[in-house]
Amino acid sequence: MLKPKILVTASHAGSVSSLLPVVRQLDLEGRVETVVIAKDAAEYNKSFEGVANYRPFSSYGNSISVEQVIEQERPVLVLTGTASPTNQYPSPIERTSVLAARKYNVKSAGVLDQWSEYDTRFRNNDGQPEFFPDVLAVIDSIAVEDIVAKGYDKDKLRITGNPYFDANADLAKEKPKLRKEVRSVISVPESATLVTYIGDKKSFFESYLPVGAKIPGTGYNDLDCVKLVCEGIARTADSVKKDVILLLRMHPQDPDLASWQNVVYEAASRVPVRTANDYKNSKLVCLASDLVISPASGLMNDSTMMGIDCISVQPHPINAQEILLTKMDIIPNTFDSEEGSELVRKVLTEGLPDKYRQRRDSFKVLPGATGRVKDLVYELVDLK
């Protein structure tokens, strides 16, 4: 008897992270056949390599569409992530998969990786929820409330948790051992204070264009953020400063390589610097850190769950974006360069204020998400 075939698609790093644990579990149990397709950034970064039945989208041939892939593979379910369009990738496969599945009367299910950007993920230019899948697996009740408030159908939502978060509790238990191992690989002494800056994707900065603007810009970019961080480090006492190393990690999706080189040069002229773009496990880089700083990277969610101090920095934004952790006052944020530098100095000197750590300790996400999404897949293909 043929097993039900599941077509798994992803281009965005958050999609890959949310789908990979589920794919591995489905393959381990062997009740369905998975065909896993990576496109754009996920294909370039070889995110699914090592997974059974993995195929880069380009392997299907030049100029092929997702519709043609569905015709060829004939799945009973399309399982995908969620992604916003960017200048570099204006039609992410997470969106085109939903459209193609709908055209061929194939069920679609999405897995949400973040508490943000719902309209840019799911709505077309006319404001219609064209790219919303038949079922969306969401992280928690907070996500449900936010999505429903945006006008989406509550009946299409299923609370499962995010499979990517499942490993965080176990990693935190192994923190001393893993911290030592990672620091050895990236040449950071155990005694050093490691500050890690996580860059954001180019499209994030471009998303804050003022109306009618001709030149992309948010009012800030990675370089502005790193200048803020370096200034904060410079303001610490010599007894603190001498132990600080700044680790720079570029966002894996649509990075601006030329601009990132300027980020590295600027930082290296002011503080000791390491880079970790080639170290594949981003979570472990964060786990090895003492402080993680970023505009809005999802890795701050993981860092918070693993007990790592975080700061969100968005110096002089045209439109400030508060992420869930800052809305809940779990991590501090800043929208000003001067205040941001002072915040970095204060956290490095005195530690994160107790009110944030107390709230962080009470911040919990639903465990066992991988199993819930896997069971949802079985339900959708009529395997009880």
Residue 93 sits at φ, ψ, to 5 deg, of -65, -25
Mean pLDDT computed over every residue of the chain: 91
Burial class (CB in 10 A: 0-12, 13-18, 19+), 209: middle
Residue 329 sits at φ, ψ, to 5 deg, of 60, 35
Instruction: Return the number of other C-beta atoms located less than 10 Å from residue 339's C-beta.
Output: 14
pLDDT at 321: 74
Average pLDDT over residues 177-197: 96
Instruction: Kindly state the tokens that stand for 373.
Output: 């999404």
Q: Locate CATH 3.40.50.2000 in the chain.
A: 5-162+366-380, 167-362
DSSP notation for 228-258? HHHHHHHTS-HHHHTTEEEEEE--SSS--HH
pLDDT at 362: 86
Q: What is the CATH number of domain 5-162+366-380?
A: 3.40.50.2000
Instruction: Report helix, strand or coil for 75.
Output: coil
Instruction: Pick the range with the lowest mean pLDDT from 76-90, 262-276, 286-300, 316-330.
Output: 316-330
Cβ(70)–Cβ(98) below 8 Å? no
pLDDT at 177: 96
Average pLDDT over residues 261-278: 91
pLDDT at 217: 58
Alpha helices in the chain (DSSP H): 13-29, 41-44, 66-73, 93-103, 118-122, 141-149, 168-173, 175-185, 202-206, 222-234, 238-241, 257-268, 282-287, 299-305, 324-327, 337-350, 354-362, 369-380
Integer Cα distance of 68 and 85 in angstroms: 21
Superfamily of domain 167-362: Glycogen Phosphorylase B; (3.40.50.2000)
DSSP label at residue 215: S
328-370 tens-digit pLDDT: 999 999 999 999 999 999 999 999 999 999 999 888 899 999 9
Integer Cα distance of 288 and 148 in angstroms: 37
In this prediction, residue 185 has a pLDDT band, given cuts at 50, 70 and 90, of: very high
pLDDT at 214: 47
In this prediction, residue 213 has a pLDDT band, given cuts at 50, 70 and 90, of: very low
In this prediction, residue 203 has a pLDDT band, given cuts at 50, 70 and 90, of: low
Integer Cα distance of 262 and 268 in angstroms: 10
Cβ neighbors of 47 (< 8 A, separation 6 or more) are 10, 13, 16, 20, 38, 41
Q: What radius of gyration, in Å, describes the C-alpha atoms of the chain?
A: 21
Integer Cα distance of 79 and 82 in angstroms: 10
Instruction: Please state, in angstroms and as integers, the Cα–Cα distance from residue 318 to each residue in 25, 156, 205, 340, following that order.
Output: 43, 34, 10, 16
Instruction: Kindly state the tokens that stand for 27.
Output: 């393959």
DSSP label at residue 2: P
Instruction: Report helix, strand or coil for 348.
Output: helix
Amino acid identity of 199?
G
pLDDT at 207: 63
Q: Does residue 187 come out as left (phi exceeding 0), alpha (psi in the -120 to 50 range) or beta?
A: left
Instruction: Kindly state the tokens that stand for 194.
Output: 């490691």
In this prediction, residue 279 has a pLDDT band, given cuts at 50, 70 and 90, of: confident
Cβ(60)–Cβ(68) below 8 Å? yes
45-84 tens-digit pLDDT: 778 888 889 999 999 988 899 999 999 999 999 999 999 8
Percent of the chain with pLDDT over 90: 74
Does residue 216 carry a pLDDT above 60? no
